[in-house]
Amino acid sequence: MNAVQAENVGIGVQFRAVHLHPYYMEHWGFPRGMFPNAEYYSDRAISLPLYPMMSDMDADDVIRVVPKVIAAYQKTDGKGPQ
């Protein structure tokens, strides 16, 4: 996420597995590891910017930056741009 944000593209985490929210962990005792598929998705999902008034230039920035950052991580075995 930091590498994409460093390119001035605002991304964020919009999904956290429900059982990992403090309420459910504290009141129901759901530990990490109880729902591995939900956690796998939760640990990897990001939200890309997309909104009705988004300019073509901003959309082009997202289209340019995301593959660039993915390629950098693939070249470094997931360690990120060097």
Q: Is position 50 within any domain?
A: yes
Of 53, 52, 51, 42, the C-alpha closest to 20 is: 42
**pLDDT confidence of residue 23:** 95
Residue 82 placed within a domain: no
Mean pLDDT calculated for residue range 62-72: 89
Is 52 within a domain? yes
Query: What is the total residue count of the chain?
Result: 82
Residue 7 near residue 68, CB atoms below 8 Å: yes
Q: Look up the CATH number of the domain holding residue 45.
A: 3.90.1150.10
Asked whether the beta carbons of 51 and 58 are under 8 A apart, the reply is: no
Residue 82: pLDDT band (50, 70, 90) is low
Cα–Cα dist 65/56, whole Å: 14
Which pLDDT tens digit goes with each residue over 30-53? 999 999 999 999 988 888 998 999
Residue 50's domain comprises: 2-75
| Residues 65, 9 contacting (CB under 8 angstroms) | yes
DSSP 8-state symbol, 20: G
